[in-house]
Amino acid sequence: MPKSRKSGRSPFVLIALLFFWSIIAGWGLAQAHQLPLSRFPHLADSTLNSSRPLESSPITISLEPLSPSLELGRQYYFENCTSCHVALPPIVLPTETWRELLLDSQHYGVTLNLPRGPVLKAIWMFLNQGSRAYGEDESIPFRIAQSRFFKALHPKVNFTSPPTASSCITCHIGTREFDYQRLSSEWENSP
C-alpha cells in the first residue's frame, strides 16, 4: 500500500499564521505601550519647523479656530500646564524652548511626569505650529522675559519687574481660560 502523502501546504499555512499572529501581536503591544518622545527622533530633531502643517502662519491668538488635531493638542497642553501655572500662548517662546521643555522632565526645579506617546505628540504639534524658530546664533530663552518674541508682542509695556508666567493675569484677565485677548480695563485701550 502506498503511503498517503500529506498536502505540501501545511508548513506554508503554519508559517503564514505565525507571521500574521506576530504582526497582530506586535501592533497590539505597540498600541498598549506608550513610548517617550525621545524614542521618536523625528520629534526631537532640530528641523521640526520644516514639517509645519499646511495651515496659516503661526498661531497668534490663543482662542482662534484650529484643525481638530491642533485643537486636541491645545486641550492636552492646557490640561497639563494649568495644574501649576497659566498656559502661555506658544508664540511667546521659540520652538526650540518648547522642544526642550517637552523633552526634559526637569521643569524649572520641579520633576514632571510628562505625557507620553500620542498625547505628547499632539501637544508638540500644537506648540510647534504656534511658535517660531529662533536664530542659530541666539541662545534659547527659558523665561518669557528673555524671549524676543514676548518682547515683540509687548513693545510699549514697561514692566516694573521681570514678567513671569504668573504675572500675565495682571493684564490678561482671561489667561485661566487661555484667552490672552481679553485685557483688564486699565489696558483695554492702550497701544
Question: What mean pLDDT comes out for the span 13-39?
Answer: 66
**H or E element that contains 150:** helix 148-153
Q: Residue 35: is its pLDDT beyond 50?
A: no
**C-beta of residue 44 within 8 angstroms of C-beta of residue 127:** no
Question: 19: buried, middle or exposed (CB in 10 Å: 19+, 13-18, 0-12)?
Answer: exposed
Neighbours of 24 (CB within 10 A): 10
60 — pLDDT class (breaks 50, 70, 90)? very low
Q: Residue 57: is its pLDDT beyond 70?
A: no
Among 4-8, 28-32, 81-85, which range has the highest average pLDDT? 81-85
Tens digits of per-residue pLDDT, 87-144? 899 999 999 999 998 888 888 888 888 888 999 999 999 999 989 888 888 899 988 8
Give 19's contacts (C-beta < 8 A, 6+ positions apart).
none
> Among 63-67, 147-151, 152-156, 184-188, which is the least confidently predicted range?
63-67
Domain residue limits, the chain = 37-47+67-183
Write down the pLDDT at residue 94: 93
Looking at every residue in the chain, the average pLDDT score rounds to 77
Write down the pLDDT at residue 27: 65
34 — pLDDT class (breaks 50, 70, 90)? very low
Instruction: Count CA atoms closer than 13 A to 69's CA, side-chain side.
Output: 13
